[in-house]
Every structure is written in structure tokens, then in C-alpha cells.
Amino acid sequence: MALLEVSGVTVRFGGITAVNDASLVAEPGSITGLIGPNGAGKTTLFNVITGLQAPTAGRVRFKGADITGATVDKRAKMGMGRTFQRLEAFGSLTVRENVQVARDIRSGARAWFRRGADKRVDELIDLVGLRKYAGQRADSVPTGVARLLELARALAIDPALMLLDEPSSGLDEAETDAFGSLLRDLAARGTSILMVEHDMDLVMGVCDYIHVLEFGQVIATGTPAEIRADRKVQAAYLGFADDPDVAPVPPAIAAEATAILGVPAAAETTLSMLAVEAERR
């Protein structure tokens, strides 16, 4: 049984359909990617999964239970954690205090009767590599460190599933590599991960399975190798089509395909005339 099952989710805002009949799954102990161009509906779908946005249609199941109408806190208590694109740390508290707050909220009234330090807080700080920043105010640390702080806070509830929204934003190449290793370690320990991410090297390097959104619809699902080779995915990112009445892809855009998806652009790849006209302008 899948840990998370999203079935036929649609979200409309007035006359705008942000998510259109989207379905996906996340398996236990796996890393699942949710990718797509800007404005594809990825964050909106995350909001439905975590309870911040009610779907117009569709269902969400977690651990076999229908949670479509469940509150955010109920989902968290069931073991669903999340980070956000926008950093939301308590700036006047230290890094360690931020993680401690998350642990206290999870513990509820029991936190009032705890004796001594919470060892789990220190374990989480060490796990994500924040020991040297533990005593610093959260509003004084670099963006990349703040990203890791958000991850540590989300892990403080001991989640079965982590939803990460652009988790590598603000990280340099070395930090991103270390972050990828951390994600693989978390998955190996049994924490499932569903992440929205634009860094294709990270996505292709750590994900077991990937879902691709375009205009709110899931247009492709598969392993990293399958997604790299999928023509619909290439079209979604680069704007080309397989129509015979179109022009060949310019060399610069063919090179971009290789850079983004990690595969050579096929010689027969073509570009829609609308895209060609846009390139000329």
C-alpha cells in the first residue's frame, strides 16, 4: 500500500484551474519528485496534500485513511511534515530553540514536565549539520542554513512523510550535494520524501520516482531515466513539439535540453513556430 495516494485532485480559483485531475503516489521509504515549469500547480497540490487548500474535487489518502477533509494539525499528528518555499523561522530565537519549539508543540502538555534537555533536538541538529550554528539567532544565519533549519524543525515531529518545497534553494553546489546525501539517508531510515524542486541534478540524483506537472496536469510519471527520455517532459520545459510542420530546434536550445534534462536533444526534435517567432523577438 502506498503511504500517500492523491487521486483526481482538481483545484479551481474562480475561472482558473490551478490543478486539473492530478493523481500521484509516494511509497514508504522512497524519495518522490514533483517537477514542472513555474506556475504548473506544484505548490497548490502540496497545499491540498497538507490541508492548507481544500480541493474542488478529488481525494487524498495517507496511511490508508481518507484525509481529504482533515485539518493541518491532524495531518501533522498522523506523521506528515512540510517545509515551504518562503523561509518561516522564528528570527529572534536561536537555531536550537527553533527546533525545540517544534518538539514542544509535538509533545503538547508533556513538554511542561520534561526534565533536562531534549536529546532529540541535538540529534536533529547534528543530523542536518547545524551544530556550529545551534546558538545563533535564526535571523542571522545564511539562507542555506535556514533551509536546513526548516528541515530539522519538520523532522522534529518524527514524520512518516516529508513534503519539501524547493528545499535546495539558497544552497551552493557542495551544500546541495550534501543535502542530497542527507535525503537518501532519511529515506534509508524510513522517512518518505515528496519534494518540489527545480534543481534537476538533485532531482535526478536522489529520486526513486518522479511526477511531472504542466498546467496543473500530471503529464508524465516514471523513474529518472524514463522522465529524462519523455518527449512530453522535454516539450514542457523547452517549448518544442513533435509536429512535422514545424522548424528544427536551434542549437542553443538543443544544448539547453541537454543541460536541463541530462540527455542529448534528439536530432528530429522540433520547435513550434510560435516558439520560433518568440525567439526572433
DSSP 263: S
**One-letter amino acid of 92:** S
User: Parallel, antiparallel, or unpaired for β 57-62 and 4-13?
Assistant: antiparallel
Residue 46: its pLDDT value, please?
Answer: 94
The whole-number pLDDT of residue 67 equals: 97
* Contact predicate 180/203, CB 8 Å: no
One pLDDT digit (tens) per residue for the chain, 281 residues: 799 999 999 999 988 999 999 999 999 999 999 999 888 999 999 999 999 999 999 999 999 999 999 999 999 999 999 988 777 777 789 999 989 988 887 655 455 545 556 788 999 999 998 999 999 998 898 888 888 999 999 998 889 999 999 998 888 888 899 999 999 999 999 999 999 998 999 999 999 999 999 999 999 999 999 998 888 888 777 665 555 444 455 566 556 665 666 654 444 443 333 343 343 44
Domains parsed from the chain with CATH numbers: 4-227 (3.40.50.300), 230-280 (no CATH)
Q: How much is the pLDDT for 25?
A: 96
What the block records as the C-alpha cell of 240 is 518544442
Give the distance between the most distant pair of CA atoms in the chain.
73
Question: Beta 209-214 vs 192-196: how paired, if at all?
Answer: unpaired
pTM exceeds cut of 0.85: no
d(CA 54, CA 3): 20
CA distance 114 to 235: 55
Question: CA-to-CA distance for 176 and 46, rounded, in angstroms?
Answer: 22
